[in-house]
Amino acid sequence: MVAVPALRELLASRDFRRLYSVRLVGQFGDGLLQAALATFVLFSPEREPDAIKVATAFAILLLPYSLVGPFAGVLLDRWRRRTVLVRANWLKGMLTLPIIAIVAAGDDGVLLGIVVLVVLGVGRFVLAGLSASLPHVVSGRDLVTANALTPTSGTIAAAVGAGAGVALRSLVGGGDDGSEIVLVAAIVAYLLAGSIALLLGRDRLGPDGRRPSDSIAGIARGLVDGLRSLREHASAGRAILVVGAHRVAFGILTAGGLLLVRGTFNTISDADAALQEFTVLTVGAAAGALVGAIVTPGLARRLGEVQWSAIALLQAGVLGSGLVIAGSLLPSFGVLIAGAVSFGFAGQSVKVCSDTLVQQHIPDDHLGRVFALFDMFVNVCLVAGIVIMAVVSPTSGQTPLLYAAAGTGLILTAWWYLRFRTRRVPLSS
């Protein structure tokens, strides 16, 4: 488990606290933004979503970094990361202003999608920068603890932000006007996150070592270097693949959960009840992620990152998928929440281990590129799961065979990952 003394040691570092605060405040703002967009597009009584619309909405939320991430990663190894965190957060705040205008006009079409793509693309840039910066403010022996604490806390901050956004929208009367007020709150959070990053030293977050050229040719060479680094450090590449496998299954569950609360647990016209239940599902997944973050550092040290990741995937493949199947067929919302907890637990456990392996085996001057590629791959896998759900599922979300296939995929991934450990392939391969 995450030991209290280890947490105290981490939080005793002033620069760690500042970097940690940038993540918490920024991701709280992300939660506000996502709540505003979800209530506007997916949970308005006058806008009835089908599976394709759900997939499109999630693709807009998740794909931006997949398009710009690799190039952004090279630049994270070229520019001062402190500067990136400041300017990117402030840019997100500025770019949210056009979203407010579009929502005020009641337009949920292509223009909204384009602006949101840009804002969230910048946001993914920030998250990769935070991951690449972490080894500069945390000593090596505490890195696994920091990797358990920071992304998990960020996920929880985003979930809290989403819940706060839903509550704020309801408090001010709901509707599109309420969504606009939530977007204003998100702007405030982004401006604050950038201001906190200013408190860090200009060169405190790196990058160290040789910096690649920022020309187009240099960026292209940097991408190749990032891929080559993953090939040369196979354990890091395998760790990324394992996270991707989980995200495909989690994408299926996410889209399925939304369709279930909209089309099975509630009438289509009762959008507010569906929104509340989907928020509860999100909180359940976040709670599972929190438990995973708490137990993973100790168990990963004791068992090894590969073994613990495989165990976490197995429990989601067997228990989690079984609960989701049962919850969708009964139907039982409580059982469905339990399935979300299981998948959230597995996702965070695997991500903590994989982040640590990447940070341990990839040279610092390649970390930005590799984490950008990492995030790109993870988001593509998550969207792939959502698209699969959109193509296969009815509007009710009741597709037990697909949920079973997702669980089987996780079981096979765990078996594949364990083979490398039993064969004693060195971690630094």
Mean pLDDT, the chain, as a whole number?
Answer: 84
Domain boundaries, position 264: 15-206+214-422
pLDDT at 69 over 70: no
pLDDT at 159 over 60: yes
Give a yes or no: residue 341 inside a domain: yes
Give a yes or no: residue 1 inside a domain: no
Average pLDDT of span 231-238: 89
Q: What share of the chain has pLDDT > 90, as a percent?
A: 40
Give a yes or no: residue 307 inside a domain: yes
Average pLDDT of span 317-340: 96
The Cα–Cα gap between 229 and 6 comes to 31
pLDDT at 298 over 80: yes
pLDDT score at 273:
82
CATH code of 127's domain: 1.20.1250.20
pLDDT score at 425:
39
pLDDT score at 424:
39
Give a yes or no: residue 4 inside a domain: no
Give a yes or no: residue 3 inside a domain: no
Mention every residue, 6+ apart, whose C-beta is less than 8 A from residue 136.
204, 205, 206
Give a yes or no: residue 427 inside a domain: no
The Cα–Cα gap between 426 and 40 comes to 50
Q: Give per-residue pLDDT as tens, 358-399.
A: 988 888 777 777 887 787 788 889 889 988 988 888 888 899
Total number of domains in the chain: 1
Give a yes or no: residue 428 inside a domain: no
pLDDT score at 426:
40
Contact 105, 253 (CB under 8 A): no
Contact 97, 201 (CB under 8 A): no
pLDDT at 88 over 80: yes
pLDDT score at 222:
66
Average pLDDT of span 58-79: 67
Q: 100-132: b or e for each residue (b if 16 or more CB lie within 10 Å)?
A: bebbeeeebeeebbebbbbbbbbbbbbbbbbbb
Q: Give per-residue pLDDT as tens, 301-319.
A: 899 999 999 999 999 999 9
More confident residue, 77 or 93: 93
pTM over 0.85: no
Give a yes or no: residue 258 inside a domain: yes
